[in-house]
Amino acid sequence: MHQHRPVRSRVKTVSVKREGNRWYVVLSCDEVPAEPLPPTGAIVGVDMGVAHFLTTSHGEHIANPRFLTAMADELAQAQRYLATFPKRTRQRTKHHRAAARKVAKLHAKIRRQRADFHHKTARTLITGHDVIAHEQLNTAGMTKSPAPKTDPEQPGRFLPNGAAAKAGLNRSILDAGWAQFLQILANKAESAGRLVVPVDARDTSRTCPECGHVAKGNRLTQAKFACTACGFTANADHVGATNVLNRARLVLCDVA
Catalytic residues: 47, 135, 237
Q: Measuring CA to CA, which residue among 233, 195, 189, 244 is closest to residue 58? A: 244
Cα distances (Å, whole numbers) of residue 150 to 153, 158, 164, 254 = 9, 4, 17, 47
85 HSE (CA, 13 A, CB side): 18
Distant-in-sequence, close-in-space partners of 50: CB < 8 Å, separation ≥ 6: 64, 169, 172, 173, 176
CA distance 250 to 74: 48
CA distance 12 to 127: 29
Contacts 24+ apart (CB under 8 A), 98-105: 101/20, 101/21, 102/78, 103/75, 103/78, 103/79, 104/19, 104/20, 105/20
Q: What crossing angle do the helices spanning 178-192 and 163-176 adopt, rounded to 10°?
A: 30
SS3 at position 250: helix
How many other CB atoms sit within 10 Å of the CB of residue 112? 13
SS3 at position 215: coil
